[in-house]
Every structure is written in structure tokens, then in C-alpha cells.
Amino acid sequence: MDTQDLVHQIHKAKRNTYSSMIKCTKKVHWEDFLASLDDRSVWTAHRYVTGEPTDGGRTHMPTLRVMQADGSIQDVETNTDKSKMLCDTLFLKPIAEDASEASGEFLAPKFKYKPITNSQIKQAIA
């Protein structure tokens, strides 16, 4: 990839212009908000100013606390460990096939199966 190509320079200039516009718009919005404060909204502004700083909207999963089989609590901090823990929690392990189900003995059906028709689908959507 040729980073000296004109298209990359144009993209960088447009990106920087857009970023500057966003910062300016946020500043103007904040100043307008502060100028319009009244008895009720002053507390909202107070909460904004004194609140915890944010991460700028980045996607982040906080440290997870997982109860172990022995009752102890484990903190899961790395993305790899979080992924494994979520996978183990949300997706159950396949269970061994039960011998009673393998025999093929099932109850008789309560009704005859009929495929769903297009008109039934349209009626459900309507």
C-alpha cells in the first residue's frame, strides 16, 4: 500500500477536519447547555461534571466475578479468560446420549403435522 498516494492524503485531511468539527460541536453544545441552566438542570450539570470519567465510548467489558464450584469467587480480567467463561456459561456442553432415548420409543403424536402456509405467515405478520 502506497501511503504517499494522494487518496491517503485526502482521507487524512478529511478525517482531521471531521474530528475538529466533532470537537467544536461538542464544545458549543456544552457551552449552550451551561448557558441554559435553570434550578432543575443545574443538578444534571453537577452530575456530569463530578461523575466518573468515561472511556470515550470504547467497547469494554468490566472484570467479571465468577463463583467457582467450591463457592470461592474468581475475578476474570483478560479478554481470553472472559471469552472462555462466557462461552462456558452461555453454551451448554453436549450431554451424552441417554440410552432410554436411543431405544426409539416415543409417544404417539397428538395431531398430524401440516407445514405452515404463506397465508398463515402473512396473517401472523399483519
- What are 21's three cell numbers? 468539527
Rounded Cα–Cα distance for residues 45 and 28 (Å):
15
- What are 60's three cell numbers? 469494554
Domain residue extents for the chain: 6-50, 62-94
pLDDT in tens, 4-26: 788 999 999 999 999 999 999 99
3-state secondary structure of 69: coil
pLDDT in tens, 72-117: 998 999 888 999 988 988 888 877 666 555 666 778 888 888 899 9
pTM of the shown model: 0.40
Among candidate residues 54, 28, 57, 30, the one with its CA nearest the CA of residue 41? 30
